[in-house]
A and B are shown apart, each in its own frame.
Chain A
Amino acid sequence: MIFKKLALAAVGATLAASALSVAPAQAQENGQFVPGLVYRTGPYAPGGIPWADGFADYVSLLNARDGGINGVPLVYEECDTAYNNDKGVECYEKLKGKGPTGGASVQPLSTGITYALMDRVRADKIPMITSGYGRADASDGAVFEWIFTAPVTYWAGADAIVQHIEAQEKSLKGKKIALVYHDSAFGKEPIKTLQALAEKDGFKLDLFPVPHPGLEQKATWLKIGRQLKPDWVIMWGWGVMNSTAIKEAAAVGFPMNKFVGVWWSGSEVDVRPAGMDAKGYLAAQFHGAGANYKVHEDILKNLYEKGKGASDRDKVGDILYNRGLISAVLMAEGIRTAMTKYGNKPMTGEQIRWGLENLKLDDAALDKLGLKGLMAPLQLSCKDHEGGGKVMIQQWSGAAWTPVSDWITPRRDGFLTEMYKESAAQYAKEKNITPRTCN
């Protein structure tokens, strides 16, 4: 008898729980589904978490402050990829069909997962935004219809770093530059650009691959600091590799103000473990640091003061948090632009692609979004999926990142666009893609 009662109670509780879960599900049916391929676990979690928090907070801010985008609520669901390609594909497949219009744009937050999803997003007609990572030649929108590299690519970043070095040295002729890179698809991305620049500008480039995860780099840094003695070192690292490199560089006495990391080697999680050894270290960024922008004010007021923030309050404004936030802005503004043509309702992948290709974030638009100064203006098109983003160099003071350069415009008018075109054409040939005509 008791067992029967318990069983009935259990069935009742299950039914009640099901009924409760129906209500939000119905509400979700009218919203724009936003898939979040993030990594809060695994060896790269320290970098993945702040990015995911920044992204989630911006989505929550739009819902809390504006009721979504033009009245359409955003329904956000995360899936943890652990920075693993297989899991990334699994997450994509899991989320792409959710919501009334599916996972209508995706941001894989990994160059490896980007490569793994390229054919799938083309088949599924889902735009993939790869802000500051992924395949650089995907900036050519005529070939890569579904991939958006805004605001900058690795090739553009490498060019901007070399421009900064040139500005410090006056001339690069005869200089020695070493590239310390994560021995992966991500780490190898800038090599082609740097080799082209070395030939053009007359500097000598030495390459130092660091195998995953990069826990031990003593030999590499002995070679660099005691044998080669380059004028500058550029780092293309991720995860524990970065802080280890900074410590080993300091141990061989390499000056930090001649050591520049790409944006994935330039966050608080990279420099803090190295302590004061990291003071003076430089990093290229495509956005500002700190929480002194209007958008942060809104996030703190609408989310953190109400206990709804995804992160710790003191982490709001960290480099990777801001990067996640900007990535969410690109997605949201793509949707908002799409709505100007297709109406205020959940957008499909094709509609968001149109929105992204017509996205214009000038100073006035950035000011309206509370982002003025946090990022450089952008304008994307059918042909140009990068949008003319800019890069600045920041320096770690021991406590915070401070800009030490103005916005640097990568030389897209010159050799970069040619490189994009050439590489994209080769990809199109391999995949049997006929480039579309962009007017």
Chain B
Amino acid sequence: MDFLYNFFISPFVQIADSPLFFVEVLTGGLLSGVMYSLVALGFVLIFKASGVFNFAQGAMVLFAALFFAGFIDKGVPWWGSLILTIGVMVLLAMTIERVVLRPLVNQPHIILFMATIGVTYFLDGFGQTVWGSSVRVLDIGLPQTPLEIGGVLVNKFDIIAAVVAGSLVAVLAVFFQKTRVGRALRAVADDHQAALSVGIPLKTIWAIVWTVAGLVGLVAGVMWGSKLGVQFSLAMVALKALPVLILGGFTSVPGAIIGGLIIGAGEKVAEVYWADAIGGGIEDWFAYMLALVFLLFRPQGLFGDKIIERV
């Protein structure tokens, strides 16, 4: 009986009692969701352009953050570190294309997926071999102090993250829809061989898309690294991106943002109002449960391409 009350009645009574707090939880959740979207965007880019689920995206976030923070620790100014890290990510993309992807052209997607698992282990190990496994503090001057707007507490850092993510989505949307490279990327995603037959250079396209995913990883790495410090755990933020992708769709850039917002807000509201009814600590798995429910009704996600199999 207690459970029924705590699950079906108590949360709504609490919301009605303190609506301002509910708004605060919701806002906090939406802003956290934007941080998940930053990571999810990297997955979307590679999936959109090659149909491959890039297991290494989390490792790329860590890898980029390690190099960026490492260069800063060596005394390079932040803008210099940014340029150097961009260079590293471009080099990495070209290497992955040459060493991992090119020999696997026309192989089934599962083979490419397995290859990205190998890339993950390599990046995790190599990044830490070069820069060590200790926590690196990343302070690029982003304000971290809370701000009270109309009685609602908001973190300035989260607002900046939202602006960064929004800008990134706008740039990527224009890139995919309005540029020739963007259209070529979508063509490659549909069919490697067909794209090759009409003269689209597959090698170049793959190098470009991995570079862009690497740069998105760098942005995510800088934001998450500023929040948590640069450490191995950053690679785990990829786990936060998975339910976002399921919800938003693997092929939609705006979907990554909307998915992030739903997951962020959903898990925070669930943790605050429903966790007590089921023992607490539901913040992490709630996102997966929500994604699972979505899978049942809309397997392609909110904005993903509808799956049509011709028989």
In the bound complex, residues from chain B placing their C-beta under 8 Å from that of A243 are 135, 228-229
Q: Are B229 and A272 in touch, CB under 8 angstroms?
A: yes
- Interface flags for B204-235 (1: CB within 8 Å of A; 0: not) read 00000000000000000000000111011100
In the bound complex, residues from chain B placing their C-beta under 8 Å from that of A218 are 28-29, 32, 268
Q: Are B268 and A41 in touch, CB under 8 angstroms?
A: no
In the bound complex, residues from chain A placing their C-beta under 8 Å from that of B25 are 219, 222
Question: Which applies to chain A's interface (DSSP): helix, strand, loop or mixed?
Answer: helix
B19 located at the interface, meaning its Cβ lies under 8 Å from any Cβ of chain A in the complex: no
State A243–B224 Cα separation when bound (angstroms). Answer: 13
A42 located at the interface, meaning its Cβ lies under 8 Å from any Cβ of chain B in the complex: yes
Q: Are A273 and B21 in touch, CB under 8 angstroms?
A: no
Q: Are A49 and B233 in touch, CB under 8 angstroms?
A: no
Given contacts A46-B231, A46-B232, A220-B283, contact A215 B237 (CB under 8 A): yes
State A227–B139 Cα separation when bound (angstroms). Answer: 30
B128 located at the interface, meaning its Cβ lies under 8 Å from any Cβ of chain A in the complex: yes
State A272–B69 Cα separation when bound (angstroms). Answer: 14
In the bound complex, residues from chain B placing their C-beta under 8 Å from that of A253 are 146, 153
A183 located at the interface, meaning its Cβ lies under 8 Å from any Cβ of chain B in the complex: yes
A186 located at the interface, meaning its Cβ lies under 8 Å from any Cβ of chain B in the complex: no
Q: Are A226 and B283 in touch, CB under 8 angstroms?
A: no
In the bound complex, residues from chain B placing their C-beta under 8 Å from that of A45 are 128, 133-134, 231-232
Q: Are B137 and A275 in touch, CB under 8 angstroms?
A: yes
Residues of B within 8 A of A (CB): 18, 21, 24-25, 28-29, 32, 128, 133-135, 137, 139, 144, 146, 153, 155, 227-229, 231-233, 236-237, 240, 267-269, 271-272, 275, 279-281, 283-285
CB distance from B226 to the nearest CB of A (A): 10
Q: Are A213 and B28 in touch, CB under 8 angstroms?
A: no
State A135–B267 Cα separation when bound (angstroms). Answer: 33
Given contacts A215-B233, A247-B144, A247-B227, contact A220 B271 (CB under 8 A): yes
CB distance from A94 to the nearest CB of B (A): 21
Q: Which residue of A49, A211, A213, A277 contacts B133 across the interface (Cβ within 8 Å)?
A: A49
Q: Are B135 and A46 in touch, CB under 8 angstroms?
A: yes
**Can you list 28 A-B pairs with a CB-CB distance of less than 8 A?**
A40-B133, A45-B134, A45-B231, A46-B231, A183-B281, A207-B280, A209-B281, A210-B281, A211-B281, A211-B285, A213-B236, A215-B228, A215-B233, A216-B32, A218-B29, A219-B28, A219-B272, A222-B272, A223-B272, A226-B24, A240-B228, A240-B229, A247-B144, A250-B146, A251-B153, A252-B153, A273-B228, A275-B137
CB distance from A49 to the nearest CB of B (A): 6
- Interface flags for A350-377 (1: CB within 8 Å of B; 0: not) read 0000000000000000000000000000
